[in-house]
Structure 1
Amino acid sequence: MLHTTPDKRGTILAAAFEVFISYGFRKTSMDDIARAAGMSRPALYQVFRNKTEIFRAASQSLLVKFGHETRAAFDSDKPFAERLFNSIDQSILSLHRKIDATPHGAELMGVNAEVAGDIEEKWCDMMVDAIAEGVTEAESKGEIALAPLGVDAHRVATIVMQAMEGMKAKYLRGEPIEDDVRHMVNFVAGALAISIRTTSECKSGLG
């Protein structure tokens, strides 16, 4: 699940992520992480001072992973709406599904906000930049038009991420949000596509 390096640090982060998912942050000990990583506790302490430091490093690794997957989702011949949905599905919803399979999702979300809030902010900025790149590419292909709606790619990406933030409360209540995300994506993509037709009709009328 994590984007880790093939070294001791990467082994620890990958193991710790699975332990956090399985037992929650509060109940996880450094001994648990050491065992999962196949090393002694002293060896673990040579790399990380405590589990909070490990949790932050794991969050950072997820940021890197999601950045790659968000951009990769736009590298496709699928329609823009599908590429946009896949960018969100592969980078956000996939993690939600994994967390949903455990009884510790709400706790982990809370801990992340508590000890890795700055990393989450960077993640949101990264997601906006990645989605903006996909929107810009779609405009260059003639799939969508931004100017008629008075927006740029960064504004569209920001709106998408703000909508995702608005769905967080529903997710934390244990309710699925995939359909909501699909509707939001279709609305955004549809509005941008309609603006192309409007522009074309205006040009035809002028002609």
Structure 2
Amino acid sequence: MGADRLTEVLDAAYECLTRYGVRRTTMDDIASTMGVSRSAVYQYVRNKDDAFQRVAARLHERALERARRAAAAEDVPYARRVSGVLAAKLDLALRLAGDSPHTAELLDGKGRRFGGLCARFGADLRGLLVGLFTEAGTVDGVAPAEAADICLALVVGLEDVPDARRLLGPAADALVAGLLGEESR
């Protein structure tokens, strides 16, 4: 029951985040959204910062798990695996941007509140991509880490583009084909 209740607290915190943002949300808002007392919320989180850290961690972990599954799909060509990792990052960014202007705070890698979490998420994605490019091999003159950085830059560039999900496929295909070379397709 405790895990279910924590999930309810985090869901309520996310709902409040979409409405009010991190700064304006109070523990009373979270409790009210759940229909419980503030003291009931404190049984599961220390304060609103703890609640938002857990919300952000949960969202990033789900995206990272999706990226890990894509990277591990050995029966899928490398280009599709790379594209799956990139799609996990792009989908997280687009979901958060689409839910509310406030939820973009959860992706602020430079911000004090979520910067460390975002940096770890980016490093984990980069590690998955470096692993894929190391296995597949890259064209001469491009190291696997450079190929990973180029791919992540593509996703960051698409995050503010209309129809980004549709564009990711062809953009990633072309980019990865160039990074892997003809023999790896």
> How is 1:47-196 mapped onto 2 (pairs within 5 angstroms)?
47-76=44-73, 77-89=75-87, 91-102=88-99, 104-105=100-101, 107-110=102-105, 112-113=107-108, 114=111, 115-137=113-135, 139=136, 145-146=137-138, 148-168=139-159, 170-171=160-161, 175-196=162-183
TM-score (ref. length: structure 2) = 0.76
Matched residues in 1 for 2:41 and 2:122: separation? 30
| CA–CA distance in structure 2, aligned partners of residues 112 and 71 of structure 1 | 19
Identity over aligned residues, as a percent? 23
CA contact (8 A) 2:86 2:155 kept: no
Which sections of structure 2, spanning at least 5 residues, go unmatched?
A: none
Preserved CA contact (<8 Å) 1:93 1:178: yes
Structure 1 unaligned spans of 5+: 140-144, 198-207
**Cα drift, residue 116 of structure 1:** 0.8
- Work out the number of aligned pairs and report it: 179
Aligned-residue CA RMSD in angstroms? 2.9
Q: Deviations over 1:37-88 (max 9, x none)?
A: 4542112124434323321222122232222110101333333322222222
Give the Cα separation in 1 of the matches to 2:21 and 2:31. Answer: 16
Name the aligned partner's letter for residue 149 of structure 1. D
SS in 1 for 2:72: coil
**Which one has the largest radius of gyration?**
1
Q: Structure 1 residues 97 and 70 mapped into 2: Cα distance closer, same or farther (>3 Å)?
A: same
Q: Which residue of 2 aligns with 1:204?
A: none
